[in-house]
Amino acid sequence: AQTVTQSQPEMSVQEAETVTLSCTYDTSESDYYLFWYKQPPSRQMILVIRQEAYKQQNATENRFSVNFQKAAKSFSLKISDSQLGDAAMYFCAYRRRMIQGAQKLVFGQGTRLTINP
């Protein structure tokens, strides 16, 4: 079974600084997707960024980027120029690549990110 591990229960960063959240996963599959979701105090789940395992290039979305190391099964999230609105719970998630069928996500335990003004 696939597992996702986030080893940092809490992180904090000064506003405008850069922070990196860690995620490792375990799978025997070669083709899959990885996601970072953000959950603010409203508890809504918001997609931050996604990565296809077959792509070597790291995904970027504005201030958010990932460091995807497939051999090491590592998928870290870097947030540049941190803003107060980035404060939230962040979840790393894994999903097998499937042509059809249920797209079950496996989540890590989450990292609570605090932004200090």
For another protein, the binding residues (CB under 8 A) are 4, 6, 9, 33, 35, 37, 42-45, 47, 50, 52, 91, 97-110
Cβ proximity to another protein: between 34 and 117 the closer is 34
Q: How far is the CB of 47 from another protein (least distance, A)?
A: 4
Using the minimum distance from each CB to another protein, give the nearer residue, 19 or 94.
94
80 C-beta neighbours (distance < 10 Å), count: 14
Nearer of residues 37 and 75 to another protein, judged by Cβ:
37
